[in-house]
């Protein structure tokens, strides 16, 4: 089994719902998102999935968040835009994108870092 990881950044604002403290106010972060996929097979070049493909797919998903108020997106889902929820959202979007293209790669983990050293992850 092979694991491949890529990461991308985005900048966005959010405010946490049902939270008591400063994070209930609108504020922004420079988010770092890491996505890891697993593959059982390598192609004839010895590659599980091209880093460029995985990086592009992650960047396409994160473009929905970049320079936005994340509450506008997550309110429609009736969710607070926490790092945990963002990780879950990205996980499922990336899994769908890889599946649609018929890739052997399967998402295993998505990590979302909203501040250096503070990370939430989602995996199944």
- Around Cβ 26, how many Cβ atoms within 10 Å? 10
Per-residue confidence of the chain (124 residues) as pLDDT tens digits? 999 999 999 999 999 999 999 989 999 999 999 999 999 999 999 999 999 999 999 999 999 999 999 999 999 999 999 999 999 999 999 999 999 887 889 999 999 999 999 999 999 9
Q: What pLDDT was estimated at residue 104?
A: 86
Q: Given this model, what pLDDT does residue 27 score?
A: 96
Q: What is the pLDDT of residue 103?
A: 80
Task: Using alpha carbons, list the distances in angstroms from residue 7 to 10, 13, 35, 59.
Answer: 10, 19, 6, 9
Question: Could you tell me the pTM of the whole model?
Answer: 0.94
Domains within the chain, CATH numbers bracketed: 2-122 (3.30.479.10)
- What pLDDT does residue 101 have? 82
C-beta of residue 24 within 8 angstroms of C-beta of residue 16: yes
Q: What is the pLDDT of residue 23?
A: 87
- Specify the pLDDT at position 102: 76
């Amino acid at each position: 089994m092979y694991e491949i990881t890529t990461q991308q950044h985005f900048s966005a604002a959010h405010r946490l719902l049902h939270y008591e403290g400063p994070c209930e106010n609108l504020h922004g972060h420079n988010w770092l998102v890491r996505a890891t996929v697993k593959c059982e097979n390598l192609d004839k070049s010895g590659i599980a999935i091209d880093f460029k493909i995985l990086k592009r797919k992650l960047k396409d998903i994160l473009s929905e968040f970049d320079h936005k108020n994340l509450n506008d997106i997550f309110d429609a889902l009736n969710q607070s835009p926490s790092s945990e929820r963002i990780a879950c959202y990205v996980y499922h979007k990336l899994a769908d994108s890889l599946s649609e293209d018929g890739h052997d790669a399967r998402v295993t983990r998505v990590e979302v870092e909203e501040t250096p050293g503070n990370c939430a992850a989602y995996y199944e």
